[in-house]
């Protein structure tokens, strides 16, 4: 039996689209026949609220659980290890929260969503330093920056170019600023469940899933 893969999604500040990326990645992995669980460690409980918005008979395609105490993360992962192929950890937007530190000790991959704006780029430096410190102690930890909520403007393209000067690599996939992502949260769904309305977004998510599978060493 292949071992469970743990992916932590991190940001230093709110508004980076961390929970959106977590839930869309979960839906995309599930669509590729992976058993997926999401552990919501953020006190805002966005992932939990998202999944609970799903109508009866059409649940969110991944299991979503809340975890209030980060000290219980290792035990939760051990419990899920025989039930899931992937566990995605939606972390609080902080570089000091114990949940973030706990997630970096357990994760195989750390993803940092970055909105291509100067302010978000500056805030990314702090979370990048934290991840690099974790990598120094855990050689198997892989990490990448992921452009998120991308608007096709000259400023965004300039910021995306600057991102390549960071120490962590930039993932070869990005999520755009699309209404479908916000609408899927209202529906308690992934964009893959939205039919034609989510088709363009679903194609972006599929590319993200492929890149994450490569990071974890999984076959695509």
Q: Tokens 């170019």 identify what position?
A: 161
Q: What is the pTM of this model?
A: 0.94
Give me the residue label for tokens 């006190």. Answer: 43
pLDDT of 1: 40
> Which residues lie below 8 Å from residue 2, measured CB to CB, with a gap of 6+?
85
Copy the structure tokens of residue 22.
């977590």
Lowest mean pLDDT among 73-82, 154-163, 174-183, 211-220: 154-163
Give the pLDDT confidence of 58-70 residue by residue, as tens digits.
999 999 999 999 9
Average pLDDT over residues 66-83: 95
DSSP 168-179: SPBPS---B--H
CA-CA distance, 219 to 81, in Å (whole number)? 19
Strand, helix or coil at 21?
A: helix
CA distance 110 to 103: 9
């Amino acid at each position: 039996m292949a071992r469970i893969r743990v992916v932590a999604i991190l940001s230093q500040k709110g508004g980076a689209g961390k929970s959106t990326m977590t839930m869309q990645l979960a839906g995309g992995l599930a669509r590729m026949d992976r058993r997926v669980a999401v552990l919501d460690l953020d006190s805002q409980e966005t992932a939990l609220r998202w999944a609970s918005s799903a109508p009866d008979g059409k649940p969110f395609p991944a299991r979503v659980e809340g975890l209030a105490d980060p000290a219980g993360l290792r035990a939760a992962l051990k419990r899920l290890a025989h039930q899931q192929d992937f566990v995605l950890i939606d972390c609080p937007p902080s570089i000091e929260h114990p949940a973030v530190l706990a997630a970096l000790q357990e994760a195989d991959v750390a993803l940092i969503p970055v909105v291509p704006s100067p302010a978000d780029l500056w805030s990314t430096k702090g979370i990048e330093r934290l991840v690099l410190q974790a990598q120094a102690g855990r050689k198997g930890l892989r990490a990448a920056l992921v452009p998120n909520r991308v608007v096709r403007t000259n400023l965004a393209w300039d910021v995306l170019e600057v991102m390549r000067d960071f120490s962590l690599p930039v993932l070869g996939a990005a999520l755009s600023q699309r209404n479908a992502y916000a609408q899927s949260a209202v529906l308690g769904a992934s964009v893959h469940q939205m039919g034609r309305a989510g088709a363009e977004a679903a194609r972006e998510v599929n590319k993200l899933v492929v890149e994450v599978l490569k990071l974890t060493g999984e076959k695509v």
